[in-house]
Amino acid sequence: MTDQFRIKIAQLNPTVGDLQGNAAKAKQAWLQGVEQGSDFVTLPEMFITGYNTQDLVMKPAFQNDAMNAVRELAKECADGPALGIGGPWVEDGALFNAYFILNGGDIQTIVKKHHLPNETVFDEVRIFEPGQVSGPYVINGVRIGSPVCEDAWHSDVVETLEETGAEFLFIPNGSPYYRGKLDVRLNLMVSRVVESGLPLIYLNLTGGQDDQIFDGCSFALNPGGELAAMLPMFEESITELILNRTDQGWRVADTLKSKIPDQLEADYHAMTIALRDYCAKSGFGKVLLGLSGGVDSALVATIAADALGAENVRCIMLPSEYTSDESLTDAKDMAENLGCRYDYLPIAEGRAAITNTLAPLFEGTNPDLTEENIQSRLRGLLLMAVSNKFGEMLLTTGNKSEVAVGYATIYGDMAGGYNPIKDLYKTRVFDICRWRNEQHRDWMRGPAGAVIPANIIEKPPSAELRPDQKDSDSLPDYYVLDGILTILVDQDGSIDDCVAAGFPKEDALRVQHLLYISEYKRFQSAPGARLSPKAFWLDRRYPIVNRWRER
């Protein structure tokens, strides 16, 4: 009987569909386990395919390739510690979210996920079949129970594992970030260790995949809920955990306990990782954006510089006659502070040509929103031309407040490949700009210091599409707008809830109307980093045509 068990947990960043690349990462982690005498090397849920695969995993050819990759990995890792890795498994025509224990050149055990999440970004009920709850598996004489992700959010699977002799719990996960998610995980896992009396090791993915960001923060808990280890947030980390047998059962020895950042830093890091991985995994080395002199594009430029390095970011000012001298100065200062390339591309000549072309058709009409939107769409056309010519991905810069109420021009400033601040309300944009000016971290590739000029943060927001325009001409003040949207969107609240919170009913009704009529714009908008459980895309799926309104 062994009195010590060494488990190496590999908090790594896979790429969806890169079966060979993901397998290579798993093997490198396993080789470290070989060198250090580990008993068990572990990767997170669905690691061989990357996560979240959505409907890709329903394709039979992909299933076969993934299962073959697991079988080949088992052969390559025959002489050494057992290896745990997640992936799809097909049996008798049914598809399972499975966790494989590879040992001695073969698949020793297959644990099939029982509880399938069917909420927020997950549709696992329509993709996978629920597996039967099974007992623990054995590695080097130690009985280990592995609820797969959601299975640990319910008490029944852990209860079965404890009753059938599990000596500790190892839980592989693919749990994406949202603000405050770590506290939710910790509280639930403390419940599991208190109920079972078993130590628990929670291994999570890290890295970005489309809109989702996996934050890592893998941890270990001892019975009673005492924290024994915490891996860093948003970073790859391979850590050896040592369990020692005591008179009271197994205990995880204290080790690395990374500091968890506050919510502003966590959101900023999430947006940075989301953009960095979206570019890396989709093949873009450089990005560009329209730099207006406003706060949103300033923040996106800063995120891009921190994600990719300033040398890989192009900022373009596209002024019209409504662009203020203040905005021209602020934009140039912003680009210089970051060290990004700065291009100046006036739209006057192109706008005149479009106006002349449309003049016969528009004869007898008065200028209105149409002419404002032409400016925005012309900028989108020019930015996309630069993107096509130089292979640089265009970033869009609309915050969640604007995306919610349609305060953006479809095929204009909404054009682009990714939007880092899509799930960030305007009031929070200001907060994060101030935070970034005061903070710098090792993972930021942009320069330290107050890179966003104070004037950009302090001046009244304006689209500058007509004389003396202010956002407040068309929208409630942002603190009002964001407060109402938080209730209607993030909390699924009612108009009465808005009124009870102190907001005028007419403002709440107006915001509700704008929210619903803008659905078609969001349906066509670029993906962006998910920071909340009610981000626009998979979290909140509303019909485009919708005549219902709360009165």
The catalytic residue positions are 45, 113, 149
Q: Beta strand 142-145 with 137-139: parallel, antiparallel or unpaired?
A: antiparallel
CB 129 within 8 A of CB 94: yes
Q: How far apart are CA 407 and CA 514, in angstroms?
A: 9
Altogether, the residues listed in the chain come to a count of 551
3 state DSSP class of 342: strand
List, in sequence order, every residue forming a beta bridge with 97; answer none if it has no partner: 88
Name the amino acid, one letter, at 283.
Answer: G
CB 471 within 8 A of CB 407: yes
Angle at 259 between CA 257 and CA 265, to 5 degrees: 155
Helix axes 19-36, 60-76, angle to 10 degrees: 20
Nearest to 82 by CA among 24, 143, 140: 140
Name the amino acid, one letter, at 46.
Answer: M
Helix axes 295-308, 426-438, angle to 10 degrees: 50
Q: How far apart are CA 461 and CA 295, in angstroms?
A: 8
Nearest to 8 by CA among 448, 27, 16, 506: 27
Token pair for 21: 């690349």
Q: What's the gap between Cα 114 and its chain centre?
A: 25
CB 540 within 8 A of CB 490: no
Count of CB atoms within 10 A of residue 246's CB? 9
